Amino acid sequence: MDDEKIKRKSPYGSRFIRFLIKIGSSTPLPPAERRKRIPAVAALLVSLFAVTSFSPYHILKGHYHIALGDFIGIVVFSSTLLYIRSRQEAGAAYFFVCFSYFVFFVITTVLGRREVSYFLWAFVFPPMAFSILGEKKGMIASMLFFFVSLFLMVAPEGMVLYSPYSRFVIFRYTVIYLILTFIVYYYEVSQQQLLRHIENEKRRYEIESKHDPLTITRLLNRRGALEQFEKELDRQLRLGRPFTFILGDIDDFKKLNDTYGHDAGDYVLKTVAQIMQNQVRGIDCPVRWGGEEFLIMLIETELEGGKSVAERIRKKIESTDFVYKGTKLTVTMTFGMSQWAGPDDDIDTCIMRADKALYRGKESGKNKVVVS
């Protein structure tokens, strides 16, 4: 039964939050900004509801000066809401919302000198300040309000309207306000740390989803490479400059894996990846294409220049001592190459030509560079 109640209640809560987000922004917001936007919008809606509800009463009672204040409040709060909705970041509006409530709670603190229950509004300020302004500015605003309200409680009657608060009320207010402020501050800091952790994990996942986890040098994997290739293709279409693909495959890699184990194979993959990255320029794009295949996009490089790079990599790999747990491994690579043929060519076709050239190299003896 309790589970059914929770299920019925949860959608309502989520719909209300979505309603506030929809009012507060016409575009998606980052999590940190969304956390500030929701309480700010809620505070503005409460303010609008209050002044709109009381304005007819003030008009009927003939309190036209107060009704004018209500009208000004409606215009100001509505304008602030529209301003927030049109911005990705609305720091100035958040400050205005908190300042408005700061003034309101100062007034209720003064009125509490006549009717003590008014001062209870003061406890609303710390949660509002922290949720809208964040932990640092929220703490400053909360403590500023605390000292202002404390002064208004103890100030003599000649300085402020009505008699001061009793010592017992002031003492209890001080203890409760400071405890509440600490609790809200701790909650806000924890939420900010959680948000930062989520953002870091999200970035890490995005990086890992586009990079090969096996390589020490963190080469792009096929997914990340295709995104990079498409961006580079768009750039080259604008500039009209060439680029060349080098597709390399480690010779007899399956035999090496079967003989020495997968850990030895991973060691070879990592070492080859590092060699490739060291042999190309920073603007080039070496990637692990899959299995024992590696692909390099040489930016603004024609076929002849690309062949020199491929031959240099081939010789470097051939001359490198691959030693795994005291065992020397013989490692060579075969390379196929192709050059982008112009606007009518595409990435897939260009790589396919390099793949066919690689296949011819394998068929004709391996450990060589073959041009498409």
Q: Which residues of the chain have pLDDT under 50?
A: 1-12, 214-217
Q: Note whether 287 and 226 are within 8 A (CB).
A: no
- Determine whether 54 is exposed, middle or buried from the number of CB atoms within 10 Å of its CB (0-12, 13-18, 19+): middle
Residues 6+ apart with CB under 8 A from 105: 121, 122, 124, 125, 145, 149
**Residue 208: what pLDDT?**
58
**Residue 125: what pLDDT?**
95
User: In this structure, what is the dihedral angle of CA atoms 179, 183, 184, 186, given to the nearest 10 degrees?
Assistant: 130
**Residue 193: what pLDDT?**
85
**pTM as predicted:** 0.56
What are 55-64's contacts with CB under 8 Å, separation 24+? none
Distance, in Å, from the CA atom of 95 to the CA atom of 139, rounded to the nearest integer, reads: 13
Within 13 Å of residue 118, how many CA atoms lie on the same side as its CB?
17
Domains in the chain: ranges and CATH: 2-206 (no CATH), 222-371 (3.30.70.270)
